[in-house]
Amino acid sequence: MASPARPVALITGASSGIGATFARHLAARGFDLILVARRTEKLQALASELPVHSDLVTADLATDDGVAKVVEVIHNCPHLELLVNNAGFGSLGRFWLADPASQEAMHRVHVLATVRLTHAALAAMTARNKGGVINVSSVAAFSINEGNVSYCATKAWMNSFTEGLALELRGAQSAVKVQALCPGFTITEFHDTLGVDRKGIPGFLWMTADFIVQTSLKGLDKGKVIVVPGWIYRTIVTFLRPLPYSIRRHLRRPFRDRRV
The residues carrying an active-site annotation are 151
CB-based burial label for 6 (10 Å; 0-12, 13-18, 19+): middle
Amino acid at 193: T
3-state secondary structure of 36: strand
For CA atoms 218, 15, 199, 255, the dihedral sign is negative
Residue 90 phi, psi dihedral angles, 5° rounding: -120, 175
Instruction: Report the distance separating Cα 194 and Cα 204, nearest Å.
Output: 20
Question: H/E element holding 133?
Answer: strand 132-136
